[in-house]
Structure 1
Amino acid sequence: MSAAKGQDPAARGGDPAATRLAGWITPVVADAGYDLEELVVTPAGRRSVVRVVVDRDQGVSLDDVAEVSRAVSAVLDRNDGELGRAPYVLEVTSPGVDRPLTEPRHWRRNTGRLVAVAVGGDQLTGRVTAVDDSGVTLAVEKPGKPGAKKKAPTPRHVPWAQLGAGRVQVEFGRPGRDENGPADGDPGHGDVDDVLDDLGDDLDGDTDDDDLDEDLLDDDEGDDGGRQ
């Protein structure tokens, strides 16, 4: 789920807790040079999971995720009293390819990608070739008969007012993709599993591999029941 156009990333779900957290987290994320794309607070047993999704034009690397995690963790610690000492786990990540393209910046960051989008009553599949203030230019692929020679894509400029939410189409061997990892700006990168343990060590100086997964922001050593 992504925020609607012009809407607070926490407001769409109407969650008061997420809305309050967004007021603290959004300025911190912006100061670090990122956009807060989504903020979701999900109950998970006796804890809550605070999921923060960030993005920027240059893409989001694992080092970027760790940087934002530290900044967000610090601001949550400063407002710890207002959170009622409830235990929670912080997850910071970048958007996945399943994220709908709803904002101009989403389309701009996916220039060169194949997308499916509703335009008026038509469902189009095309490659994003340009994004400007007036709309998006797509190289539209026309469906052909099985076995027939594939036709060259047709350029089509779509004004913002006519453009529905786009969906990136997964391509194997997409041009511009590095064999050793995602291409620059690839919204599919940002999987933080490989850095969670190191991030937990950085936050509290503990080398316990399970520290972050158990409770990233709970500073009470030996706490067996979470915050009171």
Structure 2
Amino acid sequence: MSEVSEIIDKVTETVQPILDENNFYLYSIEYVQEGGSWYLRVFIDKDNGISIDDCVLVSDQLSEKLDEIDPDPFADQYFLEVSSPGAERPLNNEQDYQNAINDYINVSLYQKLDGKKMYEGTLKELNDDDLTLIVKDKTRRKEVKIPRKLISKARLAIEF
């Protein structure tokens, strides 16, 4: 296991009781180096959405708990950021896809399907092999079935 994976596992273990106590859930954690600095980003959510106050609460409590970890898993100084995954959050796993049924999403493909590498539409249904989007096609709506093996990225999207 890589050092980054070990840090993410330790942070997950540390933050989970804080989230459980406040009825929040962990969306994801990343520990990345950008421009010479390390960033520990913890993305949290709850059923009705996360507020700035929620992020501050988790940040304060997590920062205190991370300072108490012995031995300290962080070799370098880092910036702690606690935030919502955002309105256009990525769909990372099966639960994210299930939660996105009936939501408007953006899907990027590894290769073209019917001449396009990107689709936006409402996620109607999904199974192990493909997902079905309702997309606007000029003046009408149509269903597009996308094989899951072609999907490089998917995220919630804002419909204009």
Superposed counterparts of 1:1-228, under 5 Å: 14-32=4-22, 33-42=24-33, 48-79=38-69, 81-83=70-72, 87-96=77-86, 99-107=89-97, 108-109=99-100, 111-118=102-109, 121-122=112-113, 123-131=117-125, 136-142=131-137, 150-156=138-144, 161-162=148-149, 164=151, 165-169=153-157, 171=159, 174=160
* Equivalent residues of 1:124, 1:140 under 8 A apart: no
Q: Which amino acid aligns with 1:18?
A: I
Q: Higher relative CO (CA 8 A, sep ≥ 6), structure 1 or 2? A: 1
Larger radius of gyration: 1
Provide the secondary structure at the position in 2 that maps to 1:117: strand
CA distance in 2 between counterparts of 1:71 and 1:92 reads 11
Provide the secondary structure at the position in 1 that maps to 2:90: coil
RMSD (Å) for aligned C-alpha atoms = 3.9
Q: Which amino acid aligns with 1:125?
A: Y
CA distance in 2 between counterparts of 1:110 and 1:162 reads 18
User: Unmatched 5+ residue regions in structure 1?
Assistant: 1-10, 143-149, 175-228
CA distance in 2 between counterparts of 1:30 and 1:17 reads 20
CA distance in 1 between counterparts of 2:2 and 2:93 reads 15
* Equivalent residues of 2:43, 2:82 under 8 A apart: yes
Change in 2 beyond 3 A, CA 1:158/1:41: closer
* TM-score normalized with structure 1 length: 0.49
CA distance in 2 between counterparts of 1:95 and 1:63 reads 15
Displacement of 1:52: 1.3
Q: Which amino acid aligns with 1:138?
A: L
Displacement of 1:170: 5.3
Displacement of 1:29: 3.2
Q: How many residues align structurally?
A: 152
User: Unmatched 5+ residue regions in structure 2?
Assistant: none
CA distance in 1 between counterparts of 2:64 and 2:125 reads 36
* Equivalent residues of 1:49, 1:91 under 8 A apart: yes
Provide the secondary structure at the position in 1 that maps to 2:33: strand
Identity of aligned residues (%): 23
Displacement of 1:129: 4.0
Displacement of 1:91: 0.9
CA distance in 2 between counterparts of 1:19 and 1:139 reads 38
